[in-house]
Amino acid sequence: MGGKRLCGSVSVSGAKNAAVAAIPAALLVEGVCRIENVPDIKDVDAIVDIMKYLGAKVKRINGCILEINCEKINGFSVPYEMTKKMRASYYLAGALLGRFNHAQVPPPGGCCFGNRPIDMHIKGFEALGAKVSIDKGTIEAHAVSLKPAQVFLDVVSVGATINIMLAAVRANGLTVIENAAKEPHVVDVANFLNAMGANVRGAGTDTVKIKGVEKMAGGTYTLIPDQIEAGTFMIAAAATRGDVLVKNVIPKHLESISAKLAEMNAVVEEYDDSIRVTREGILHKANVKTMPYPGFPTDLQPQTVALLSLAQGTSIITESVWDNRFQYVDELRGLGAQISVDGKVAVVEGVEKLSGANVKATDLRAGAGLVIAALMAEGIPQMHDIYHIDRGYEGLELKLKSLGAQIVRKGDDKKRRQLM
Ligand code: EPU
């Protein structure tokens, strides 16, 4: 049921997009990788299943620690039934190529925002000396031995930056990636690799340098908190005229969001590892353009559009990362929002109220946006296809309930309930 203020504190889980890269990266390590602060989400379950299929021994300790031993791996190919469950399965290509000079990886799944090319990943593998062929989406890459390379990315790509790092960490010599993505999870994966024995420098800048090492022996690493989960709670607090302390965050990673919420008339207070968001006055309109980090993250675009649907005035949202990331807007309209979309631009005319309806999550972040819209709405909105949300948010409805939201999950997910 919507209309409740969210109040209290909530703790953010480990970063999904770091976890789903660090786990396959363990394939490069011939020792035990202990990864801490791993979120309990379906995408992690899916990549762990693939690791086990490949022969890795994976132990989950206390829910959020994974111990992965990849000393004995059975092969370098994976069935499509497993890779199609998530986007990040494409990291298996870089990791298997880096470890065995050979990878065969069927197409990934995950959220669909139109065309999601991987030409930059391929460009990187080829520069490293691999022969790459693609048959019906399955990548096959092999090399006699990988050689160092200079790779200039034509587009800033998180996936290509990480995949090329994975392929290069054990290549003989110095690989340089120019125009690299600078997202916090790119830096986190580089730090993870270094903790396991790699030599990666410059992650978080435009130029990443990877000096190949012969062997990676393993170690312990704690993943950063999830920037997008944190941003989602910040937006939810502003949306409900709430007062929420979002704990276990890195405020630096949230600067673009904090600034935008302040522009909308929320009060944002930063502490060392938490952020408090409150709103009392009217929500102001704002224009938002999504950009690679440190710009405003595309993965918070649907949540922001939901928020702005109740702002005073007209807001313009420009999606500059993905071609087709406004598919969920019809669902928001079903709740009474007034939004028109022309290509990559959405114009949101603020309305007085949203009200209950049946909506469906069309993808992970759209699902989070619709939850925020439902929290603002009058009546009892019902949301379907919430499995998308479970792919990337750990216990979202339970965390929101702890802040005072009235949410009931119908249908059962006992495992997740028992964990909280
Ligand atoms: N691109 C290319 N060629 C490539 C790779 C990307 O043209 O070879 C283009 C894409 O079409 C897109 C842009 O470059 O227009 C950025 O794509 P990027 O490769 O950075 O995206 P990704 O690695 O596939 C990750 C996150 C997404 C997030 C984007 C952008 C993971 C597993 N996924 O995707 O997260 O939207 O970066 O920040 O890390 C999510 O978590 O919900 C999610 C979709």
In tens, the pLDDT along 78-94 reads 999 998 888 888 999 99
Confidence at residue 2, expressed as pLDDT on a 0 to 100 scale: 60
- Higher pLDDT pick, 211 / 412: 211
Active site annotation includes 70:
no
Ligand 1 atom closest to the Cα of residue 321 is: 15
Q: d(Cα 131, Cα 205) in Å, to the nearest integer?
A: 29
Q: d(Cα 246, Cα 127) in Å, to the nearest integer?
A: 43
407 CA distance to ligand 1 middle (Å) = 31
Residue 279's alpha-carbon distances to 239, 259, 265, 293, in angstroms, are: 8, 14, 7, 26
pLDDT above 80 (res 113): no
Q: Which residues, at least 6 apart from 28, have a Cβ–Cβ distance to it below 8 Å?
A: 70, 95, 98, 99, 166, 169, 170, 193, 196, 198, 216
158 CA distance to ligand 1 middle (Å) = 6
Q: d(Cα 300, Cα 186) in Å, to the nearest integer?
A: 18
- Average pLDDT of span 152-162: 97
Burial state string for 364-403 with b = 16 or more CB within 10 A and e = fewer than 16: bbbbbbbbbbbbbbeeebebeebebbbbbbbbbbbbbbeb
pLDDT digits (tens, 9 = 90+) for 38-59: 999 999 999 999 999 999 999 9
Q: d(Cα 104, Cα 244) in Å, to the nearest integer?
A: 46
For ligand 1, say whether the CB of 22 is within 6 Å of any of its atoms: no
Burial state string for 111-148 with b = 16 or more CB within 10 A and e = fewer than 16: bebeebebebbbbbbebbbbebeeeeebbbbbbeebbb
Return the closest-CA partner of residue 388 out of 62, 7, 85: 85
DSSP 196: T
Residue with tokens 């949230």: 254
Q: Is 179 helix (H, G, I), strand (E, B) or coil?
A: coil
Ligand 1 atom closest to the Cα of residue 88 is: 32
Confidence at residue 356, expressed as pLDDT on a 0 to 100 scale: 81
Q: d(Cα 140, Cα 362) in Å, to the nearest integer?
A: 31
Q: d(Cα 344, Cα 158) in Å, to the nearest integer?
A: 20
Return the closest-CA partner of residue 71 out of 54, 89, 50: 54
Indicate which residue's Cα is closest to atom 18 of ligand 1. Answer: 157
DSSP 183: -
pLDDT digits (tens, 9 = 90+) for 368-383: 999 999 999 998 889 9
For ligand 1, say whether the CB of 344 is within 6 Å of any of its atoms: no
pLDDT above 70 (res 274): yes
Mean pLDDT of the chain: 94
For ligand 1, say whether the CB of 121 is within 6 Å of any of its atoms: yes
Confidence at residue 415, expressed as pLDDT on a 0 to 100 scale: 40
Q: d(Cα 123, Cα 372) in Å, to the nearest integer?
A: 39
Indicate which residue's Cα is closest to atom 35 of ligand 1. Answer: 299
Ligand 1 atom closest to the Cα of residue 323 is: 15
For ligand 1, say whether the CB of 86 is within 6 Å of any of its atoms: no
For ligand 1, say whether the CB of 365 is within 6 Å of any of its atoms: yes
Using pLDDT thresholds of 50, 70 and 90, give the confidence band for residue 328: very high
Q: Out of 33, 70, 111, 112, pick the active-site residue.
A: 111
For ligand 1, say whether the CB of 364 is within 6 Å of any of its atoms: yes
Q: Are strands 150-152 and 174-178 parallel, antiparallel or unpaired?
A: parallel
For ligand 1, say whether the CB of 47 is within 6 Å of any of its atoms: no
The H or E element spanning position 275 is: strand 274-278
Instruction: Report the greatest alpha carbon distance in the chain.
Output: 64
pLDDT over 90 percentage in the chain = 87
Indicate which residue's Cα is closest to atom 27 of ligand 1. Answer: 299
For ligand 1, say whether the CB of 160 is within 6 Å of any of its atoms: yes
387 CA distance to ligand 1 middle (Å) = 21
Confidence at residue 417, expressed as pLDDT on a 0 to 100 scale: 33
Q: d(Cα 102, Cα 94) in Å, to the nearest integer?
A: 9
Q: Give the tokens for residue 357.
A: 């309806």
pLDDT above 60 (res 419): no
Residue 200, amino acid: V
Q: d(Cα 20, Cα 34) in Å, to the nearest integer?
A: 14
